[in-house]
Structure 1
Amino acid sequence: MMHNFLISPIGNHSAILGIKWLEQEALEIDWSTWQISLLVITPELAAIAQEEEVNKSPPKGIPEQYHTYTKVFGKEEFNKLPPHRHHDIGIELTEDGPLNIPLYGMTDAKSITLKEWLEAKLKA
């Protein structure tokens, strides 16, 4: 589904929606809060919804405020790359660039502890 919008400087407004467009789309408008809900069901979204499984039990070891992101921390997403977006950003490598450079400074003790932890996790 594609929508055409005209871009213009409209001051403090985020968008101006025309009556014809509002009538054409299946919208839910909550006039008390000035919110518009638009549900667009594409075949792609329907397929994703069918694949999703509902897990009623809260995940162990993840704080409650992050429970909505449990899929991200799960085993099924562990070895996957994120999906391509409209604006993919590439990392350009240089021929003579350093191979191993720390992201941020760390004390020797912390560095050794981190290295030991990583090696233990990689062996597991």
Structure 2
Amino acid sequence: MAKYNEKDISFYGEGIDGDLIAGQPDTDGLVDLLMTSDYESARQDISNRARTQTGDWRSHPQIGGDLELLEGEPNTRDTANQGVSQLLQTLTYDGRFAAGDVEVRAVPIDIYTIDFFCFVDAGEDTPIVVNQSTNL
């Protein structure tokens, strides 16, 4: 099982704004960028990959869940399976997450919405979970 509790710069905070967040001042009053807590870096990476399209990241041209390609499609099992396949591809293509540690489940919410739940087994009691809602 891979290690997923590394640290990175935190840029989501309480919401998904994409802004860098300043940390608390140290004893000298200096402020640095806030770092992620345990597994928050993995959550950020899952969310980034699920929310973006292939080609959005110039330095990582293969990252992107491409869920907007599902827009206009009927809310069927085939559409859900296509989204699951796309998410599994973007989460595992470069080894960021091991294929054996990742599971994606599609849950139809209404006629126009599918929620995709991405689970990553990090070897803890509960998996890392990120939900990406997609409007069709």
Shorter chain as normaliser: what TM range? Answer: under 0.3
Structure of greater Rg: 1
Greater relative contact order (Cα < 8 A, sep 6+) = 2
TM-score (norm 1): 0.20
TM-score (norm 2): 0.19
More helix by share: 1
More strand by share: 2
